[in-house]
Amino acid sequence: MATVSVASSVESRPQPSAPLVPKVKASGLSFYYGAFRALKELDLVVHENCVTALIGPSGCGKSTFLRCFNRMHDLYPGNRYEGEIRLYPDDINLLAPGVDPIEVRMRLSMVFQKPNPFPKSIFENVAYGLRVRGERSGRTLEGKVEAALRDAALWSEVKDRLHQLAFNLSGGQQQRLCIARALATDPELMLFDEPTSSLDPIATASIEELIADLKKKVTILIVTHNMQQAARVSDFTAYMYLGQLIEFGRTDELFIKPKNKQTEDYITGRFG
Amino acid sequence: MPYARDLKSIRRLIAAHKRWDLVFACCGVLALMVGLLTFIALFVDMAIDGVPRLNWDFFTNFPSRHAAQAGILSAWVGSCLVMLVTAFVAVPLGVGAGLYLEEYAPKNWVTDVIEINVTNLAGVPSIVYGLLALGVFVYQFGFGQSILSAGFTLALLILPVVIVATREAIRSIPVGIREAAYALGATQWQVCKDHIIPYSSAGILTGVIIGMARAIGETAPVITIGALTFIAFLPPSPIKAEPPFLSFEWLTSPFTVMPIQMFNWTSRPEAAFLQNAAAAGFVLVLLTLAMNGFAIWLRYRLRKNIKW
């Protein structure tokens, strides 16, 4: 049953027409939580202005993988990376010891599983990334906040209450606010960590629509436990299992004719 | 009792179990009342003795050999000034230490040892702080028997309370909020300054006020460092008419505080002085209750906007 609906949502989609340009490339990436090796020699290319989805059963390491890109693991002691993640066009290794994780986080941005707005006003939430970058001019801030909220399809709902607390928004609106916050600083790559897993179906649909729109502007890497979602929003999909990347390919190919038996078992619902 | 099968025996069994609910509820109420009634009895007794003595002059008169003319002016001014110093010392030190332990310190055994010691400090008898302060602040640092020494001593005394409250408040901030800030490229200090400190301020302030409410009633350490028991003048005013308008002379002035004034009066043989002591005690308890009440109100106000 699952295959039919996944396949049908893939088939009708037009292929991306522009030539593929790599934006980030992970090669030989392993990651350790202390002595535990959570990721094993992963290789993955994320193409510019495409949505790439990471799927797999819970505990397979997809969130761990995602959090390597913006060095979130550096926040906690005992974590270690091996291999590299190169960011293009400047071709630097994001994981190199000489690269400051703060610089990496300024260039990439992240949307989390649970909406996590700051207990501040809607405006201040979106403006925070800009303030961290030293933006002081009120007019510039206002302009960029409005643009980010428009891009996150939230402007019309909040334009009259920008200075009210973000907590007064609904769950779906909060998540779009978090997307606006992540967009405001013009990131080169946006990381989404199961952004709809705590939302209802209507809010989920609006976030998915948003992601499909956003790829015109920004490259997106999204973790999802929901295969239909991967099929609906992504151009490329990677299937992970037990810290390994089992199969990577165009979403339509991966869902309709997976090359790997394990991938097939997972997407047909026989496993997972 | 046999295993209950039919409805009748199930009901009997539930009734038997529910008797224990009742027994425990009675014990709980009893335990609560022992503490509460004792406090109420003491407070009412003190109020009966003291309230007739309360009038405007009682607050504006210096202590005197004549019970009827004696007041608590030097005592309440002294208490307020000492508390001011206590707050100015305890808040930055306590919040700084708590923030460091929670956000910056590496999680290793050194941090664990420090943590255990901070918690233990809260249990050290206050007289020990007094003796320490006598050696360190009064003689070593040469602060003398002054408001400054007393403020530092009481600050030291409530420091563990402030540190623990700060850490608790910081810990209640969800990881997601921290990560959101870090993911935007904030440095550790930006996360602390823009998020951690503002969001934990309610808890920190509550801890500070509860600590201060304890400090204001402390007698032993303040006597140890040499507070006067009879004082008929006020410290120099902190505000001056001529520039630079602010003066810090009061910091080095001799002083007394409310509980010492009370202690002084209770050791007098005349009954009229005991009345004065009851009145001063009444004022002190009201002050403490007011501070605690303010802490609760503040927590309510500041947390209204933060739901997690």
A111-153 confidence digits (pLDDT tens): 999 999 999 999 999 999 999 999 888 899 999 999 999 999 8
Residue A108 DSSP code:
E
Residue A251 C-alpha from the chain's centroid = 16
Query: pLDDT grade, residue B297 (50/70/90)?
Result: confident
Give A73-109 pLDDT, tens digit per residue.
999 988 999 999 999 888 999 999 899 999 999 999 9
User: DSSP string spanning A134-197?
Assistant: T---HHHHHHHHHHHHHHTT-HHHHTT-TTSBGGGS-HHHHHHHHHHHHHTT--SEEEEESTTT
Residues of chain A neighbouring B194 (CB-CB closer than 8 A): 128, 131
Enter the ipTM: 0.90
Do B155 and B262 lie in a common domain?
Answer: yes
CATH among 3.40.50.300, 3.30.470.20, 1.10.10.10, 3.20.20.70 for A2-267? 3.40.50.300
Residue of chain B minimizing CA distance to A190: B183
Do B200 and B109 lie in a common domain?
Answer: yes
Whole-angstrom distance, CA of residue B285 vs CA of residue A155: 54
B298 falls within a domain = yes
Shortest Cα distance, chain A CAs vs residue B197, angstroms: 12
Q: Residue A199 belongs to what H/E stretch?
A: none
- The whole-number pLDDT of residue A1 equals 40
Do B102 and B174 lie in a common domain?
Answer: yes
- CB interface of A with B, residues 91-150, below 8 Å: 102-103, 105-106, 109-110, 112, 114, 116-119, 128-129, 131-133
CATH code of the domain containing B238: 1.10.3720.10
A22 φ, ψ to 5°?
A: -70, 140
Do B72 and B211 lie in a common domain?
Answer: yes
Residue of chain A minimizing CA distance to B174: A116
Residue of chain B minimizing CA distance to A68: B183
A172-190: average pLDDT: 94
Question: Closest by alpha carbon to A196, among A218, A169, A168, A224?
Answer: A224
| Cβ atoms of B306 and A168 closer than 8 Å | no
Residue A121 DSSP code:
B
Would you say residue A2 has pLDDT above 50?
no
Query: pLDDT grade, residue B2 (50/70/90)?
Result: low
Give B128-141 pLDDT, tens digit per residue.
999 999 999 888 88
B107–chain A Cβ distance below 8 A for any pair:
yes
Pairing relationship of beta strands A22-33 and A36-47 according to DSSP bridges: antiparallel
| Cβ atoms of A163 and A142 closer than 8 Å | no
Report the 10 Å Cβ neighbour count for B202: 21
Contact A178 B180 (CB under 8 A): yes
Q: Across chain A, which distance is largest between two alpha carbons, in Å?
A: 56
Whole-angstrom distance, CA of residue B25 vs CA of residue A164: 45
Do B135 and B237 lie in a common domain?
Answer: yes
Do B272 and B130 lie in a common domain?
Answer: yes
Contact B174 A116 (CB under 8 A): yes
Residue B165 C-alpha from the chain's centroid = 12
Burial annotation B125-136 (CB, 10 A radius, 16+ → b, else e):
ebeebbebbbeb
Whole-angstrom distance, CA of residue B150 vs CA of residue B133: 8
A197-218: average pLDDT: 90
Shortest Cα distance, chain B CAs vs residue A35, angstroms: 17
- CB interface of B with A, residues 74-103, below 8 Å: none
B182–chain A Cβ distance below 8 A for any pair:
yes
Residue of chain B minimizing CA distance to A74: B182
Residue of chain B minimizing CA distance to A110: B183
B1 falls within a domain = no
B308 falls within a domain = no
Count of domains for chain B: 2
B283 falls within a domain = yes
Do B47 and B168 lie in a common domain?
Answer: no
Do B129 and B118 lie in a common domain?
Answer: yes
B43–chain A Cβ distance below 8 A for any pair:
no
B173–chain A Cβ distance below 8 A for any pair:
no
- The whole-number pLDDT of residue A24 equals 94
Do B95 and B132 lie in a common domain?
Answer: yes
Where helices occur in B134-244 by DSSP H, the ranges are 147-171, 175-183, 188-191, 197-216, 220-224
- Please give the residue range of the domain that contains residue B15: 7-52
B259 falls within a domain = yes
Q: Residue A67 belongs to what H/E stretch?
A: helix A62-69
Provide the number of CB pairs (under 8 Å) joining chain A to chain B: 66
B2 falls within a domain = no
Residue of chain A minimizing CA distance to B304: A119
Do B102 and B17 lie in a common domain?
Answer: no
Residue of chain B minimizing CA distance to A191: B183
Residue B105 DSSP code:
S
Give B15-51 pLDDT, tens digit per residue.
999 999 999 999 999 999 999 999 999 999 989 988 8
Q: What percent of chain B has pLDDT over 70?
A: 98
CB contact set of A59 (below 8 Å; sequence gap of 6+): none
Contact B183 A110 (CB under 8 A): yes
Residue of chain B minimizing CA distance to A105: B185
Residues of chain A neighbouring B102 (CB-CB closer than 8 A): none
- Lowest mean pLDDT, pick from A57-66, A202-211, B227-236, B286-295: B227-236
Burial annotation A1-19 (CB, 10 A radius, 16+ → b, else e):
eeeeebeebbeeeeeeeee
Whole-angstrom distance, CA of residue A50 vs CA of residue A20: 9
Nearest to A109 among B184, B187, B305 (CB): B184
Give B136-158 pLDDT, tens digit per residue.
988 888 888 888 999 999 999 99
Do B12 and B99 lie in a common domain?
Answer: no
Shortest Cα distance, chain B CAs vs residue A32, angstroms: 18
CA A153 vs CA A63, A180, A209, B78: distances in Å: 26, 9, 10, 60
Whole-angstrom distance, CA of residue A190 vs CA of residue A181: 11
Whole-angstrom distance, CA of residue B154 vs CA of residue B260: 14
| Cβ atoms of A132 and A107 closer than 8 Å | no
Residues of chain A neighbouring B177 (CB-CB closer than 8 A): 116, 118-119
Contact A118 B181 (CB under 8 A): yes
- The whole-number pLDDT of residue A4 equals 44
Mutate to test the interface with B, among A69, A75, A122 (most CBs of B within 10 A): A75
Contact B182 A132 (CB under 8 A): no
Q: Quick check: helix, strand or coil at residue A40?
A: strand
Nearest to B176 among A116, A129, A167 (CB): A116
- The whole-number pLDDT of residue A176 equals 93
Question: Closest by alpha carbon to B148, among B231, B260, B252?
Answer: B252
Whole-angstrom distance, CA of residue A142 vs CA of residue A127: 8
| Cβ atoms of A46 and A68 closer than 8 Å | no
Would you say residue B92 has pLDDT above 50?
yes
Q: Residue B288 belongs to what H/E stretch?
A: helix B271-303
Look-up: residue for tokens 């664990």? Answer: B112
Nearest to B184 among A117, A165, A185 (CB): A185
Shortest Cα distance, chain A CAs vs residue B168, angstroms: 18
Residues of chain A neighbouring B306 (CB-CB closer than 8 A): 119, 167
Task: Indicate the domain borders of chain A.
Answer: 2-267
Do B32 and B75 lie in a common domain?
Answer: no
Q: Is the Cα dihedral B221, B223, B228, B230 positive or negative?
A: positive
Report the 10 Å Cβ neighbour count for B274: 17
